[in-house]
């Protein structure tokens, strides 16, 4: 019955004739055996898929229970847990040193017949191995382990008040799927923060270097690419891009196929910094180079040269979000994902409408800009696209290498 995943209870009775015949201790009772009762508590239908997602995401699921180990192992096999045949009982755990337990937890995922102090030791063993531990529990006896774990998760429906007080998070629906969804959302948020940090580096390079390079080229202050009002205008675009656009990016399709990042890894890695610098300097070269070329061609028309450079920066900013929405998907795929997002559509429309507003209305005179012809506007759009979409080629190369490596691994 235990191998079928049933919790087995033996039932017996005793009929004392008087109060004096009742033993003081339960173990002194002499009971007549009646039979066995097998209780089933079937796992949720979604748990098997959740376990698969956890395995792909590098999240290891461990079962700690007071039940029979055979029952726990049978349930673990049903839901697809790894190492489901290896079990450590509470008695075995009591005889182990902390160092022995550290080695055992690397390959054992089921702990049965445990008591509260065992749970603490198990959590400690995982943490001593350098792993981040999330502990779920609902009883008073789980409170110490919930408190000691990196992330204590108490059950909101059936959890005791003590366990909820000790936990960091309370699972309101008592559903394991919610934990998996939270991991996915946490990765999405962290990804988007990184994208925002990288974006801030990229888009400020053209602004900063346009100001730094002008004195070396003996450009008249009145003919500068970016006057103070243009810097303010760009900042009004950059801030919403960080706080609204990048924050709303959906999770990438492979976000749960990645292994957990190291807790020691910095939010701004050398790879992200290098990518940001390259993108920033390419946009700077495209915008400032176009501005400088027009300034030389039309020496008396600085507003025209300035408008070309500024429009390239704004359009590059618009396209940069699409390109940097994913390290794996191409820009058109990212755009399609957000096609039904009304907020994103409003932001995109306002960006493009804002360009037309500042160059084709009386506002252009106030901003020291000039209207562009259709050809000039088209040229600035092409230059902006070239300045940003070169990274799509990098993605393509990465994808080809990844597919080739995966083919080799499959063949091996």
Question: What pLDDT is attached to residue 407?
Answer: 67
* Residue at 20 is within a domain: no
Question: What pLDDT is attached to residue 412?
Answer: 59
| pTM recorded for the entire structure | 0.81
CATH code where residue 50 lies:
3.40.50.1000
* Residue at 16 is within a domain: no
Task: Looking at the structure, tell me whether residues 325 and 204 fall in a common domain.
Answer: yes
Angle between helices 302-323 and 176-213 (to 10 degrees): 160
* Residue at 14 is within a domain: no
Helix, strand and coil in the chain, % to nearest 5 = 60, 10, 30
Domain that holds residue 145: 2-9+36-179
Render pLDDT for 130-144 as a digit per residue (tens, 0 to 9).
999 999 999 888 999
Question: What pLDDT is attached to residue 411?
Answer: 60
Q: What are residue 38's DSSP bridge partners?
A: 8
Query: Which of the residues in the chain have pLDDT under 70?
Result: 406-412
Cβ-in-10-Å burial (0-12, 13-18, 19+) of 383 comes to: buried
CA gap 62, 137 in Å, rounded: 13
> Are the C-beta atoms of residues 151 and 168 closer than 8 Å to each other?
yes
Handedness of CA 245, 247, 250, 256 (dihedral sign): positive
Residues in the chain: 412
Task: Looking at the structure, tell me whether residues 61 and 128 fall in a common domain.
Answer: yes
Task: Looking at the structure, tell me whether residues 81 and 107 fall in a common domain.
Answer: yes
* Residue at 300 is within a domain: yes
The Cα angle at residue 109 between residues 103 and 113, in degrees rounded to 5: 100
Last residue of a domain, one of 179, 206, 223: 179
> Are the C-beta atoms of residues 47 and 17 closer than 8 Å to each other?
no
Could you identify the residue written with the tokens 């039932």? 11
Question: What pLDDT is attached to residue 12?
Answer: 92
Angle between helices 228-240 and 176-213 (to 10 degrees): 170
CA gap 252, 83 in Å, rounded: 30
Closest Cα partner for 225 from 314, 306, 344, 299? 306
Render pLDDT for 289-308 as a digit per residue (tens, 0 to 9).
999 999 999 888 999 999 99
CA 36 to chain CA centroid, Å, is 48
Task: Looking at the structure, tell me whether residues 132 and 266 fall in a common domain.
Answer: no
Task: Looking at the structure, tell me whether residues 231 and 305 fall in a common domain.
Answer: yes
Task: Looking at the structure, tell me whether residues 193 and 340 fall in a common domain.
Answer: yes
* Residue at 18 is within a domain: no
Question: What pLDDT is attached to residue 290?
Answer: 95
CATH code where residue 230 lies:
1.20.1110.10
Closest Cα partner for 198 from 283, 268, 245, 133? 268
Overall domain count for the chain: 2
* Residue at 25 is within a domain: no
Closest Cα partner for 342 from 196, 251, 242, 244? 244
Cβ-in-10-Å burial (0-12, 13-18, 19+) of 49 comes to: middle
CA gap 123, 121 in Å, rounded: 5
Distances in whole angstroms, Cα of residue 29 to Cα of each of 22, 26, 81, 174, 220: 8, 5, 40, 39, 103
Handedness of CA 216, 222, 228, 231 (dihedral sign): negative
SS3 12: strand
> Are the C-beta atoms of residues 171 and 179 closer than 8 Å to each other?
yes
**Two tokens at 335?**
């755009």
Question: What pLDDT is attached to residue 408?
Answer: 65
Task: Looking at the structure, tell me whether residues 333 and 371 fall in a common domain.
Answer: yes
Task: Looking at the structure, tell me whether residues 298 and 396 fall in a common domain.
Answer: yes
Task: Looking at the structure, tell me whether residues 168 and 238 fall in a common domain.
Answer: no
Task: Looking at the structure, tell me whether residues 174 and 191 fall in a common domain.
Answer: no
Could you identify the residue written with the tokens 């429309």? 349
Distances in whole angstroms, Cα of residue 87 to Cα of each of 93, 217, 389: 10, 74, 54
**Two tokens at 284?**
């700077």
Cβ-in-10-Å burial (0-12, 13-18, 19+) of 388 comes to: buried
Task: Looking at the structure, tell me whether residues 112 and 206 fall in a common domain.
Answer: no
* Residue at 378 is within a domain: yes
Distances in whole angstroms, Cα of residue 366 to Cα of each of 227, 356, 360, 361, 408: 12, 14, 12, 10, 61
Last residue of a domain, one of 122, 157, 179: 179
- Do the strands 87-89 and 110-112 form a parallel or antiparallel pair, or are they unpaired? parallel
Last residue of a domain, one of 122, 152, 179: 179
Task: Looking at the structure, tell me whether residues 202 and 325 fall in a common domain.
Answer: yes
CA gap 123, 112 in Å, rounded: 14
DSSP code per residue over 30-51: -PEEEEEEEE--PPPTTHHHHH
* Residue at 15 is within a domain: no
């Amino acid at each position: 019955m235990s191998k079928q995943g049933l919790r087995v209870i033996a039932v017996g009775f005793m009929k004392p004739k008087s109060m004096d015949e009742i033993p003081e201790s339960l173990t002194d009772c002499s009971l007549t055996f009646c039979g066995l009762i097998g209780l089933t508590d079937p796992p949720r239908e979604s748990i098997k898929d959740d376990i698969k997602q956890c395995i792909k995401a590098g999240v290891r699921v461990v079962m700690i229970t007071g039940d029979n180990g055979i029952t726990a192992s049978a349930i673990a096999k049903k839901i697809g847990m790894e190492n489901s045949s290896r079990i450590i009982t509470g008695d075995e755990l009591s005889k182990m040193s902390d160092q022995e337990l550290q080695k055992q937890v690397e390959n054992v995922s089921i702990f049965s017949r445990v008591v509260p102090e065992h749970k603490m030791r198990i959590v400690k063993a995982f943490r001593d191995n350098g792993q981040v531990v999330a502990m779920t529990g609902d009883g008073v006896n789980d409170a110490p382990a919930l408190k000691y774990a990196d992330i204590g998760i108490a059950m909101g429906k059936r959890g005791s008040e003590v366990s909820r007080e000790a936990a960091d998070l309370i699972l309101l629906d008592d559903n394991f799927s919610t934990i998996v969804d939270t991991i996915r959302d946490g990765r999405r948020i962290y990804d988007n923060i990184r994208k925002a940090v990288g974006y801030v580096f990229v888009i400020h390079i053209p602004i900063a270097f346009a100001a730094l390079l002008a004195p070396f080229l003996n450009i008249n202050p009145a003919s500068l690419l970016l006057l103070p009002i243009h810097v303010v205008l760009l900042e009004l675009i950059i801030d919403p891009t960080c706080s609204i656009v990048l924050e709303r990016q959906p999770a990438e399709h492979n976000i749960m196929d990645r292994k957990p990042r190291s807790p020691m890894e910095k939010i701004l890695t050398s790879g992200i910094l290098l990518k940001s610098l390259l993108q920033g300097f390419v946009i700077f070269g495209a915008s400032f180079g176009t501005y400088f070329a027009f300034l030389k061609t039309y020496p008396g028309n600085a507003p025209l040269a300035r408008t070309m450079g500024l429009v390239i920066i704004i359009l590059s900013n618009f396209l940069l979000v699409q390109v940097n929405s994913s390290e794996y998907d191409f820009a058109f795929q990212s755009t399609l994902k957000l096609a039904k997002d009304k907020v994103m559509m409003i932001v995109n429309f306002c960006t493009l409408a804002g360009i037309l507003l500042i160059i084709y209305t009386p506002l252009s005179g106030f901003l020291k800009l000039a209207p562009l012809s259709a050809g000039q506007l088209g040229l600035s759009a092409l230059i902006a696209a070239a300045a940003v979409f070169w990274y799509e080629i990098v993605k393509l190369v990465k994808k080809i290498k990844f597919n080739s490596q995966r083919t080799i691994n499959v063949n091996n």
